[in-house]
Chain A
Amino acid sequence: MAQLTFKPFLKPLRLGRDDWRMAAVVARREIKDSFRDWRIMTPIILLTVFFPALMNFAAGRMMSFVSNYGAQIIATQLIPFLLLVVGFFPMSFSLIIALETFVGEKERKSLEPLLATPLTDYQLYLGKMIAVLVPPLLAAYLGMAVYLTGLYVNLGWTPSLQLLGQTLLLTTVQGVIMVAAAVVISSQTTSVRAANLLASFIIVPMALLIQGEAAALFWGNHVGLWWLILALAITAVVLIRMGLHLFKREELMGRDLDEVRLGWILAEFWAVLSGRRENNGRYPNPFRWYRQTLALIPQLRHPAATLTLALLGALGMGVVLAFIYRLPPEMLAQFTGESISANLDQLQIVARGLPLAIFFQNVRVLLLLALLGTFTFGVLGILVFMLPWVIVGFAAGQIFLAGESPLLFLAATILPHAIFELPAILLAAAAALRWHLTVIAPPPDRTLSEAFMATSAEFARVFLGLSLPLLLLAAFVEAYVTPQVLRAAYSG
C-alpha cells in the first residue's frame, strides 16, 4: 500500500560554502538588476528619504499639539510606532519583487536557461531569497536612520536600546516572512497575475500583525513584543523551509496553467478514500477497506507523538494556570468529595440526555481542528487539540488545591470514556496534522497537490473509519458509565 511518509520538517539543512557562493552569484545579478530598474528604485528612494522626513514632521507636529494639553505621553508612545511604519513601508517592496522573482522570469522566458545551469534548487532559491530581501531591507534600515536622525535633531528624542533592537528585529523578521511567503507563491504559480492575486494571503495577515504591533508599542508591552519576535522568527524559518521543500524546477517548467481541476480533485480524493487506489482500481470489500485504514496507523506515529507532547504540555500549562489563578475558597469547596457527590444526581440527569450531543460536539471540534489547521500549517489545529487538556489540567490543579486527589478526580471523571475518546481524537488529529504538514514537506516523488489530496483523503478514512465509531462509543460511556464511576468514587 503506497503511503506518504510523514517527515519532520525542521530536519537540518546542510548548505556548504559552494552553495553560498553560487547563491551570491545569483543574488548579485538580481540586486544589480533591481538597482537598474527605476520602477523599483524610485519608490524605494521616496519611501527611504521623503517618507521618513514626512513622518518626522508629523511626529514634531504631534508632540507640539499634545504638549498643549499636557498629554505628551500619547505622542511619545506613538513615535516608536511611526519608526516601525517607516521601516515597514520600504520593506513592503520586497513583497512585490519576491512575487515576481520566479514567475516573472518564467514569463520573460529567462528562467529555463537558468534552470539548465548546474545551480542546485537550494542555491537558486537561496540566491533569489537574498536578492529580494537585501535592497528593501537596506532601504528600511536607511529610512529608520533618517527618521531617527530627524527626531534627534528636531526633538532630541532617542529610542531605548530595547526599542531600537525590537523595531529592527521586527522589521527584519517581517521582511523575511513576506519574502519567504511571496517566493513560495512565486514558485507555485504560472503567472505574475496569479501571484499578485494570491499575495492577499500575505498582505492581510501582515496588516493585522502591524496593528497588533502598534498596540503593543503603544502600551509599551516589550515582553509581548519579544514573544512576538520569537513567534515570527519561527514562522520565518518554517516558511523558508517550506519554500525549499516546495521549490522544484520540475514544478516550475512542468506547468503552464493554474487551473482548478475539480474533477481531478474529486477523483483523487475518492480513489484514496474508497480504497480503489490501493486495490488496483477496484472497490475493496469493507474488511479489506478497514485493513487498509488500520495500516495507516503506523504512518501516524510522528504526528501522534507530537500531539502527545502537546497534550502533556497542555495539561502542565493547565496545572500552572491553576496555581497562578487560584479559585476563591468558596468555589474550591465545590470540588470536595461531598459537593461532587451532592451534584451527581443532577449531573446524571443532564448526561443521560446527551450522548449524541457529546458525540456531535466531539465531531464538531475535530472538524474545526482539521479546518483551522489547513491554512495555518496545523498550528491552530494543535491549539484546538490542546485547549480541552489545558482545562482538564486547570481543574486537576484546583482539585489539588482544594485538598482532594487530582488522580482520583481524573480517574473518575475522565478515564472511563477517555479510554475510547482519547485514541479517537488522537488518531484523527494526527491524520489531520499529517495532512496539514504535507504543504510544508511534500514527499519528493509526488506533486504538492497529489500529496495534499492523498493525505486529506487518508484523514477522512481515519476520521470516518476509526474515530467516529470510537467517539460514538465514548459518548455513551461518558453519558452512562462515567457518572456511575464518579458516584462510586466519591460516594464511598
Chain B
Amino acid sequence: MIVAENLGKKFDNFTAVHDLDLHVQAGELLALLGPNGAGKTTTVRMLSSILRPTTGRAAVNGYDVVREAAQVRRSIGMLTEQPGLYLRMTGIEYLLFYGRLYGMSDAAIQERGFALFNRFGMADAHDRRLGQYSKGMRQKVGLIRAMLHKPSVLLLDEPTSAMDPHSAKLVRDTIKEMRDDQRAIILCTHNLAEAESLADRIAIIKKGAIVAKGTPTELKQQLLGLPQLEVRVDQHLNGQLQELALENLVTVEAIGDNTIRYRTPNPQQTNPLVVRRLGDLGLGIISLQEVSQSLEDVYLRVVAEETTEN
C-alpha cells in the first residue's frame, strides 16, 4: 500500500529526509516517531504528493507519488497537525466542499458526514460554524475530512493531540477499526503510549533518516537489550554471594536490598534454575517478574543518543 525506497528531500542546502525506506501493508498501522524537525512532516508531504522527492521513489496504493500525483491524492486521507478548517463554514458545508473535491455526490457526503459526526459525538454540531467548535471538535472534523471519502491510505499527524481522554479513546478506536478494515495507516505522533497501543510497527526518524524500525517488541529488544527480570526475596541480600551463585547462568545487572535484576536470553529455562539456586542459598522467593520497558524508554534512548552526538 505504501512503499518508499531510498526516499529523500533536499531544500537548497538542507537535507530534510534521506535514504528513507518504508513499507506499510493494507491493514497495518505504522507509527512514525521522532523529535521535532526530524523529517516526519516532510515524509508525509512526499507521500501525499505535495512535495516532490529529490531522491528515491515512493508509491501509494500502487501509484507513483511523482508521476501519478492525482491518483495518489485521491487514495489518501490526510490529517494535518493543525486541522486548518474554514471557520466561517458550518461542519456539513465543510464536508460538502471536501467531498465534492473527491467527486462524491452531495447525498453520499451527507450520509457519510452525518454518520461520522454521530460517531464522534457531534451529531448536533454539524450546522454550527466551525469557528464555534472547540479545539478537540476541530481536530475531529479534520479527521472526519480525512476519512470522508473512505481512502485506502490514511496519513494522520497527531490525531488526538487536542482531545480530552474520552474523545481520544473514541478516535483511537476508530483508527483501529480503519486498520482492521484493511487500510494502511501512517500515524505521526509524540504520544508514545498511543503509538504503542495502536501501532503494528514503529519507525523512529532522526535527522531525516530512519534509525530504528520494527514491532514495539522488536524495538525494545533492539534498543534496550534482552528483557530484564527482577526477583524479590524475603531476606536482606549480600550482593557478592548471590552474584557468585548466579554466575554462568544469567547476567546480573543490579542487586538491591532484597531484589536482584538480571537478563537472560532464555527465561523459560533459566528462571526455574535461578529460583532453585537462590533457594539453595536459603532465600525465599517473594516474586519474579519482567521489568516493564516502555516504548518511551526506546524513544528516549534514541533521543539521548542524538543529544550525546550533539
A: which residues have CB within 8 A of B? 22, 25-26, 29, 32-33, 36-37, 108-113, 115-120, 249-250, 253-255, 261, 264
Indicate whether A254 sits within 8 Å of B76 (C-beta atoms), given known contacts A113-B145, A116-B50, A117-B101.
Answer: no
B171 within 8 A of A: no
Counting chain B CB atoms within 10 Å of each CB, the highest count among A33, A115, A250, A255 belongs to A115
Is B89 close to A, CB under 8 A?
yes
Q: Shortest Cβ distance from A255 into chain B, in angstroms?
A: 8
In the complex, whether B98 has a CB less than 8 A from a CB of chain A is: yes
What is the distance, in angstroms, from A119's C-beta to the closest C-beta of chain B? 6
Which residue of B12, B51, B78, B84 is within 8 Å of A250 (Cβ)? Answer: B51
- Given A113, A120, A255, which contacts B84 in the complex, CB threshold below 8 Å? A113
B83 surroundings in chain A (CB, below 8 A): 109, 113
Determine if A119 and B50 form an interchain contact, defined as CB atoms under 8 angstroms apart: no
B263 at the interface (CB under 8 A from A): no
Whether B101 and A254, one on each chain, are in contact in the complex, defined by CB atoms closer than 8 angstroms, is: no
Given contacts A109-B82, A253-B45, contact A115 B50 (CB under 8 A): yes
Instruction: Please determine whether A118 and B84 come into contact, CB atoms closer than 8 angstroms.
Output: no
- In the complex, whether B73 has a CB less than 8 A from a CB of chain A is yes
| A33 and B98 alpha carbons, distance in the complex (Å) | 15
Determine the chain A residues whose CB is within 8 A of the CB of B52 once the complex forms: 250
User: What B residues does A261 contact at CB under 8 A?
Assistant: 12
A26 to B70, CA, bound (A): 16
The answer to whether B50 and A25 touch across the interface, beta carbons within 8 angstroms, is no
CB-CB < 8 A to A264: which residues of B?
12-13
- B84/A117 in contact, CB under 8 A: no
| Residue B228 interfacial (CB < 8 Å) | no
* CB pair B50 A249 closer than 8 Å: yes
Q: A109-B82, A250-B52 are in contact. Are A119 and B88 (CB under 8 A)?
A: no
User: Which of B51, B86, B102 is packed against the most chain A CB atoms within 10 Å?
Assistant: B86
Q: Across the two chains, which residue of chain A brings its CB closest to B94?
A: A29
A271 CB → nearest B CB, Å: 13
Bound Cα distance from A112 to B13, whole angstroms: 24
* A/B interface sample: 11 pairs, CB < 8 A: A22-B101, A29-B97, A33-B89, A36-B88, A108-B84, A110-B84, A112-B50, A113-B145, A116-B73, A118-B70, A118-B73
Complex formed: what's the CA distance from A250 to B88 in Å?
A: 27
In the complex, chain A residues whose CB is within 8 Å of the CB of B113 = none
The verdict on B259 contacting chain A, using a C-beta distance below 8 Å, is no
**Contacting residues of chain B (71-119) with chain A, CB-CB under 8 angstroms:** 71, 73-74, 76, 78, 80, 82-86, 88-89, 97-98, 100-103
A366 vs B97: C-alpha distance when bound (angstroms): 53
Q: With the chains together, A117 CA to B148 CA distance in Å?
A: 12
Closest 7 pairs (CB-CB, A-B):
A110-B84, A109-B84, A116-B78, A109-B82, A118-B74, A117-B101, A36-B88
Interface contacts (Cβ under 8 Å), in number, total: 70
Interface set of B (CB-CB < 8 Å, partner A): 11-13, 45, 48-52, 70-71, 73-74, 76, 78, 80, 82-86, 88-89, 97-98, 100-103, 142, 145
Complexed CA–CA distance, A108 and B48 (Å): 20
**What is the CA–CA distance of A117 and B103 in the complex, to the nearest angstrom?**
11
CA distance A115 to B100 in the complex (A): 14
Contact call A253/B84, Cβ cutoff below 8 A = no
A48 CA / B145 CA spacing, docked (Å): 38
B100 to A250, Cβ gap below 8 A? no
**Residue pair A117, B89 in contact (C-beta under 8 Å):** no
Determine the main DSSP class of B at the interface with A. loop
The reply to whether A25 and B76 form a contact with Cβ atoms under 8 Å apart is no
Q: From residue A443, how far is it (CB to closest CB) to chain B in Å?
A: 14
Contact present for B51 and A254 (CB under 8 Å): yes
Give the shortest distance, in Å, between B167 (CB) and chain A (any CB). 20
* Chain B residues whose C-beta falls within 8 Å of the C-beta of A118 in the assembled complex: 70-71, 73-74, 101-103
Alpha-carbon separation in the docked complex, A22 to B99 (Å): 11
- B51 contacts A33, C-beta separation under 8 Å: no
Closest to A30 in B: B86
- Provide the residues of chain B in CB contact with A33, threshold 8 Å: 86, 88-89
Cross-chain contact B50 with A250 (CB below 8 angstroms): yes
What chain A residues lie within 8 Å of B73 (beta carbons)? 116-119
Q: Is the CB of B101 within 8 A of A119?
A: yes
Chain A: minimal CB distance from B198 (Å):
22
Given contacts A116-B73, A118-B70, whether A37 and B84 have CB atoms under 8 Å apart is: no
Contact A25 B12 (CB under 8 A): no
Query: Is B142 within 8 A of A113, CB to CB?
Result: yes
A113 pairs with B51, CB closer than 8 A: no
Complex: A117 Cα to B208 Cα, angstroms: 25
**Chain B residues near A109 (CB-CB < 8 A):** 80, 82-84
Which residues in A have their C-beta under 8 angstroms from that of B98? 113, 117
For A254, the chain B residues whose CB sits under 8 A away are 11, 51
Chain B residues closer than 8 Å to A37, beta-carbon distance: 88
Q: Which residue of A lies closest to B72 (CB)?
A: A118
Q: Is the CB of B101 within 8 A of A120?
A: no
A111 contacts across to B, CB distance below 8 A: 84
CA of A115 to CA of B51 in the docked complex: distance in angstroms?
Answer: 10
- A25-B88 in contact given A109-B82, A113-B78, A116-B48 (Cβ < 8 Å): no
A252 to chain B, nearest CB (A): 8
Indicate if the CB atoms of B70 and A120 lie closer than 8 Å: yes
**Supplied contacts A113-B98, A264-B13, 6 more A-B pairs, CB within 8 Å:** A22-B101, A26-B101, A33-B86, A112-B84, A116-B49, A119-B73
Inter-chain CA distance A118–B77, complex, in Å, is 11
Chain A nearest CB, measured from B12 CB (Å) = 7
Q: How far is the CB of B101 from chain A (nearest CB, A)?
A: 4
**Cα distance A316–B70 when bound, in Å?**
50
Contact partners of A22 in chain B: CB under 8 A: 101
Q: Is the CB of B101 within 8 A of A112?
A: no
Chain B residue numbers with a CB within 8 Å of A117 are: 73, 98, 101-102
Q: Decide if B86 touches A29 in the complex (CB within 8 Å).
A: yes
